[in-house]
């Protein structure tokens, strides 16, 4: 380590030894690929990416997203493509390979393929007020997120997409998929999801906030359960721990959920909950923007 | 540790200065703006720099870079 390169700026452990591309291909990291393929042809030769693709397709299966229909010439067909992302942990190590099938929504025409696209999201101030309230009440916050959230929303317009690259049905190569649920990348994708979630919560006895429409409340005797929704991230808090458990069971019965637990990291805010209060900091975010702007700042 | 802003010289429109890429300047301002959620100490400096987006010159860019250098020095204060 030299003077200009302090140890705290080295990513990963210095005892790891040299990492090369060849060692990535040996898959010493238990079936996790280190490289992000640019196209389906690159992905299909790697076992870990095939696994990720299977996982995404099974989500489509489970949510009954689409049906294969003959191509009707009068309809616009929206292209779809694969996107491959590596999920990193806090130290920047690859922990998961994720494949996502997305629609090329920029080909959609307003009025024909979509009409309403608006979906409200929580404001940062609202989240801070919620945090302040919980400190006052001395209660603990929890969070969870919905797997492939947008695939849960029902579409109200007829939308057709092409078959996914690399997965063309050999017997019906000219068929297209008619969507019943929303797809990532569609212009209107967030709205059906918000509709579905809010209807579900209201059916289960929640009342929606009049000003902040992403805040849901439920009272039971003198106990209160508050749910704040940020697209597919949900944070919730209750005056009784039992209500939190009931809520998480309720959500699991309707949607496929992941990552439940105490609130720790939300929208780039690192949140530490202590008995006497809550600390918020954005150290990780600072490091990210410093990294992103480094090249710009070094130019002059 | 470096301070957020130069203590004596003040920013102005700097019409004779060399223009810089507005896109990069705005990107930097934008990412700093989100950071104000947990760092009220940088609000004034960021707000001031953001007023010069329309006529961004090198002098303004160096003011923004100064904010970044301040962040490097204060990253572990837990703010």
Per-residue pLDDT, A168: 77
Q: Which residues of A make CB contacts under 8 Å with B? A: 124, 128, 268-269, 279-283, 285-287, 289-290, 292-293, 296-297, 300
Across chain B, how many H-helices and E-strands are there? 3, 0
State the CB neighbour count (10 A cutoff) for residue A118. Answer: 8
- B31 closest CB neighbour out of A280, A283, A289: A289
Helix (H, G, I), strand (E, B) or coil at A132: helix
**ipTM value:** 0.72
- A297 closest CB neighbour out of B39, B65, B76: B65
Contact B39 A292 (CB under 8 A): no
Helix (H, G, I), strand (E, B) or coil at A207: strand
How confident is the model over B25-62, as pLDDT tens digits?
Answer: 888 888 888 888 888 888 888 888 888 888 888 888 88
Please indicate if any CB of chain A lies within 8 Å of the CB of B37. Answer: yes
Q: What is the mean pLDDT of chain B?
A: 82
pTM for the predicted model, two decimal places: 0.71
Q: Give the minimum alpha-carbon distance from B31 to chain A in angstroms, rounded to a whole number.
A: 7
Nearest CA in chain A to B28: A293
Collect all residues of chain A within an 8 Å Cβ-Cβ radius of residue B28. Answer: 289, 293, 296
Per-residue pLDDT, A123: 82
Per-residue pLDDT, A153: 83
pLDDT per residue, tens digit, chain A (300 aa), is 456 666 666 666 666 555 555 545 444 445 677 777 777 777 777 778 888 888 888 888 888 888 887 777 777 788 888 888 887 766 667 777 888 888 887 777 777 767 777 777 778 888 888 888 888 888 888 888 888 888 888 887 788 888 888 777 777 777 888 888 888 888 888 888 888 888 999 999 888 888 888 889 888 888 888 888 888 888 888 888 888 888 888 888 888 887 677 888 888 788 888 888 888 888 888 887 887 777 666 654
Please state, in angstroms and rounded to a whole number, the distance separating the CA atoms of residues B32 and A63.
39
Looking only at the bridges linking them, the beta strands covering A160-161 and A77-78 are parallel
In contact, B67 and B49? CB cutoff 8 Å: yes
Contact A282 B71 (CB under 8 A): no
Nearest CA in chain A to B64: A297
- B75 closest CB neighbour out of A279, A283, A297: A283
Does the pLDDT of residue B64 top 50, yes or no?
Answer: yes
Please indicate if any CB of chain A lies within 8 Å of the CB of B72. Answer: yes
Per-residue pLDDT, A1: 47
Collect all residues of chain A within an 8 Å Cβ-Cβ radius of residue B65. Answer: 297
- A282 closest CB neighbour out of B24, B35, B72: B35
* Nearest to A187, CA basis, from A117, A237, A124: A117
In contact, A108 and A186? CB cutoff 8 Å: yes
In contact, A40 and A166? CB cutoff 8 Å: yes
Per-residue pLDDT, A300: 46
How confident is the model over B34-43, as pLDDT tens digits?
Answer: 888 888 888 8
**Which position has the higher pLDDT, B73 or A296?**
B73
**C-alpha A35, offset from chain centre:** 21
Please indicate if any CB of chain A lies within 8 Å of the CB of B18. Answer: no
φ, ψ for residue A139 (rounded to 5)? -125, 160
* Nearest to B7, CA basis, from B66, B50, B57, B77: B66
- A285 closest CB neighbour out of B27, B35, B78: B35
In the block, residue with structure tokens 């470096």: B2
Does the pLDDT of residue B17 top 50, yes or no?
Answer: yes
Quote the crossing angle between the two packed helices B58-74 and B22-35, to the nearest 10°.
30
Please state, in angstroms and rounded to a whole number, the distance separating the CA atoms of residues A179 and A168.
16
Query: Please, what is the Cα angle at A161 between A48 and A68, to 5 degrees?
Result: 85
């Amino acid at each position: 380590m030299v003077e200009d390169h302090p140890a705290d700026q080295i990513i990963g452990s210095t005892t790891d030894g040299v990492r090369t591309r060849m060692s990535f291909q040996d898959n010493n990291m238990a079936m996790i690929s280190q490289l992000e393929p640019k196209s389906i042809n690159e992905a299909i030769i790697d076992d870990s990416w095939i696994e990720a693709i299977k996982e995404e397709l099974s989500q489509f299966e489970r949510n009954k997203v689409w049906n294969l229909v003959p191509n009707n010439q009068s309809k616009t067909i929206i292209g779809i493509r694969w996107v491959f992302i590596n999920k990193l942990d806090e130290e920047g190590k690859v922990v998961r390979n994720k494949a996502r099938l997305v629609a090329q929504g920029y080909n959609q025409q307003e009025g024909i393929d979509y009409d309403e696209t608006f979906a409200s999201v929580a404001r940062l101030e609202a989240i801070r007020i919620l945090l302040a309230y919980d400190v006052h009440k001395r209660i603990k916050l929890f969070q969870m997120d919905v797997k492939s959230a947008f695939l849960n929303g029902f579409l109200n317009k007829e939308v057709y997409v092409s078959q996914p690259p690399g997965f063309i049905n050999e017997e019906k190569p000219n068929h297209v998929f008619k969507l019943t649920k929303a797809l990532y990348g569609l212009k209107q994708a967030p709205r059906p999801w918000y509709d579905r979630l809010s209807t579900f919560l209201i059916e289960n006895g929640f009342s929606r906030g009049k000003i902040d429409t992403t805040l849901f409340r439920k009272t039971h005797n003198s106990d209160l359960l508050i749910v704040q929704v940020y697209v597919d991230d949900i944070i919730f808090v209750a005056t009784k721990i039992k209500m939190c458990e009931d809520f998480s069971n309720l959500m699991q019965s309707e949607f496929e959920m992941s990552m439940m637990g105490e609130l720790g990291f939300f929208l780039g805010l690192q949140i530490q909950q202590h008995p006497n209060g809550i600390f918020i900091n954005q150290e990780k975010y600072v490091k990210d923007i410093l990294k992103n702007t480094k090249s710009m700042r070094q130019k002059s | 540790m470096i301070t957020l802003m130069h203590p004596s010289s003040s920013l102005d429109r700097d019409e004779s200065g060399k223009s810089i890429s507005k896109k990069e300047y705005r990107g930097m301002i934008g990412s700093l703006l989100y950071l104000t959620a947990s760092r009220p100490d940088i609000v004034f400096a960021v707000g001031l720099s953001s007023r010069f987006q329309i006529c961004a010159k090198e002098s303004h860019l160096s003011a923004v870079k100064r904010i970044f250098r301040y962040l490097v020095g204060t990253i572990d204060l837990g703010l």
